[in-house]
C-alpha cells in the first residue's frame, strides 16, 4: 500500500523506487535539479528505509565552509544510508546520501518486494556519471554548490525555525544548538581559535595505524603543540568538539588517504589521518543551528598515541 509522497517527515517509511522509475526523473547528466543520483545508490532500489530527517539546510566543507539550502524543498536523508564510494575510486568519505522525494514512495509497511531488475539497474547505471573530467569526480559532494545556494544570515535563522516545523528537532534542542554556536563564536572573537598553537610549520607524525587498533587521544596541551595560530595541522582543523575526546581511547575505523572535496570534485590526498569509532562532527559548534550531514571527524596521527604497552 502506498501513500502520497508530499511532505515526508522523520520516521516515515519509504521505498526507494525501481531503477526504471528513477531513470525517468533524471536529465542527461543523471541529475534531478542538479543533484546527482549516484551509482552507489542503485543497490538501495526497491528497498524500504525510514526517513531520518528533512534537509532544511546543510554544510559544505571544501575550499571554505558555508551553510546551504537546496533550491527545492524536497530532499531528505534516509536512516543509516551513506555513500560507499565504490564507483568513485573508493573515496572513503562515507557521505550521507541526499534523496529527492521523486526517487521515493511512502509505504505502510516494509513487506518484501520483488527482486531488483538487473536490466533496469544497468540502464540506470549507464546514465550516471562519476567524473566531469579525467581528474575531477562527479557526485553529490562535488555538485553540492550547484544544487544548493548559500544562505544569508537572515535565512539561516529562518531555516532553524523550519527545522522545528519539519519535525527534525524540538524547540529546546534547537535553542541548545544555537547557544553552543553563540558561545564558540564569541569565544573565537575574543580569544582566537580554540586550541591555537604557535607553529608556523606544523609537524607531521606517522603511527601507521590500522583499522581495529586501539588508540588514546592525547591531552589538549599535547595537541595544541601540533597546531598553528588558527588551530590547523597541515590544513586540517582541530574543532572545539574534538576536545571532548581528549584522554579517551577509541578504535581506528579506517585510514583516510584520499577524499573528494565538496564543491570541486577534486580527489585530495591525505597523510597520517584516520577515522575513530564514534567520532562525528559536532556541527553545532561550527554551523548555526546544526547540520544534517553527520560527517566523520578526521584525526591526525600526531594527535593520537598507542596506549601504554601497545606495540
Same domain, 99 and 36: yes
Percent helix, strand, coil in the chain, to 5, is 25, 30, 45
Residue 144 lies in a domain: yes
Query: pLDDT tens string for the chain (311 positions)?
Result: 344 446 899 999 999 999 999 999 999 999 999 999 999 999 999 999 999 999 999 988 766 678 899 999 999 999 999 999 999 999 999 999 999 999 999 998 876 565 567 888 999 999 999 999 999 999 999 999 999 999 998 999 999 999 999 999 999 999 999 999 999 999 999 999 999 999 999 999 999 999 999 999 999 999 999 999 999 999 999 999 899 999 999 999 999 999 999 999 999 999 999 999 988 887 777 788 888 888 889 999 999 999 975 65
Same domain, 211 and 93: no
Its domain, for residue 199, covers 171-311
Same domain, 230 and 200: yes
Same domain, 177 and 305: yes
- Cβ neighbours of 200 (radius 10 Å): 7
Same domain, 88 and 135: yes
Same domain, 176 and 98: no
- Can you tell me the distance from the alpha carbon of 128 to that of 220, in angstroms, rounded to the nearest whole number? 45
Residue 156 lies in a domain: no
User: Final residue of a domain: which of 150, 181, 214?
Assistant: 150
For the CA atoms of 216, 217, 218, 224, the dihedral, rounded to the nearest 10 degrees, stands at 160
Same domain, 6 and 145: yes
Same domain, 85 and 202: no
Length of the chain in terms of residues written: 311
Q: How far is CA 285 from CA 109, 179, 224, in A?
A: 38, 9, 18
Residue 164 lies in a domain: no
Q: Where are the beta strands (DSSP E) in 30-185?
A: 31-32, 35-36, 48-54, 58-61, 65-70, 75-82, 96-100, 104-107, 131-133, 136-137, 148-150
Same domain, 50 and 123: yes
CATH at residue 81: 2.30.30.30
Same domain, 128 and 218: no
Longest dimension (CA), the chain: 62
Same domain, 205 and 305: yes
pTM (whole model) above 0.75? yes
Residue 250 near residue 276 (C-beta atoms within 8 A): yes
pLDDT digit string (tens) for 217-269? Answer: 999 999 999 999 999 999 999 999 899 999 999 999 999 999 999 999 999 99
Number of folded domains that form the chain:
2
Beta bridge partners of 155: none
Residue 165 lies in a domain: no
Amino acid at each position: 500500500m502506498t501513500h502520497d509522497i508530499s511532505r515526508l517527515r522523520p520516521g516515515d517509511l519509504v521505498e526507494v523506487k525501481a531503477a526504471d522509475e528513477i531513470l525517468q526523473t533524471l536529465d542527461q547528466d543523471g541529475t534531478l535539479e542538479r543533484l546527482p543520483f549516484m551509482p552507489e545508490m542503485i543497490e538501495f532500489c526497491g528497498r524500504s528505509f525510514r526517513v531520518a530527517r528533512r534537509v532544511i539546510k546543510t554544510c559544505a566543507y571544501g575550499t571554505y565552509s558555508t551553510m546551504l539550502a537546496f533550491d527545492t524543498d524536497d530532499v531528505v536523508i534516509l536512516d543509516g544510508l551513506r555513500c560507499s564510494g565504490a564507483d568513485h575510486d573508493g573515496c572513503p568519505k562515507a557521505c550521507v546520501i541526499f534523496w529527492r522525494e521523486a526517487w521515493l514512495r511512502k509505504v505502510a509497511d516494509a513487506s518484501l518486494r520483488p527482486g531488483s531488475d538487473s536490466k533496469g539497474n544497468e540502464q540506470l547505471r549507464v546514465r550516471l556519471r562519476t567524473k566531469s573530467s579525467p581528474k575531477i569526480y562527479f557526485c553529490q559532494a562535488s555538485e553540492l554548490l550547484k544544487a544548493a545556494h548559500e544562505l544569508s544570515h537572515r535565512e539561516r535563522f529562518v531555516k532553524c525555525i523550519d527545522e522545528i516545523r519539519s519535525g527534525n528537532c524540538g524547540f529546546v534542542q534547537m535553542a541548545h544548538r544555537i547557544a553552543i554556536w553563540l558561545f564558540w563564536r564569541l569565544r573565537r572573537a575574543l580569544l582566537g581559535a580554540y586550541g591555537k598553537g604557535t607553529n608556523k610549520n606544523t609537524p607531521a607524525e606517522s603511527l601507521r595505524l590500522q583499522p581495529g587498533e586501539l588508540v588514546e587521544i592525547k591531552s589538549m596541551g599535547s595537541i595544541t603543540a601540533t597546531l598553528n595560530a588558527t588551530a590547523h595541522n597541515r590544513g586540517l582543523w582541530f574543532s572545539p568538539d574534538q576536545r571532548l575526546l581528549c584522554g579517551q581511547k577509541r578504535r581506528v575505523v579506517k585510514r583516510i588517504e584520499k577524499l573528494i572535496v565538496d564543491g570541486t570534485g577534486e580527489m585530495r590526498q591525505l597523510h597520517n589521518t584516520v577515522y575513530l569509532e564514534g567520532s562525528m562532527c559536532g556541527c553545532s559548534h561550527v554551523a548555526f543551528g546544526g547540520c544534517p550531514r553527520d560527517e566523520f571527524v578526521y584525526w591526525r596521527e600526531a594527535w593520537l598515541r598507542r596506549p601504554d604497552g601497545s606495540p
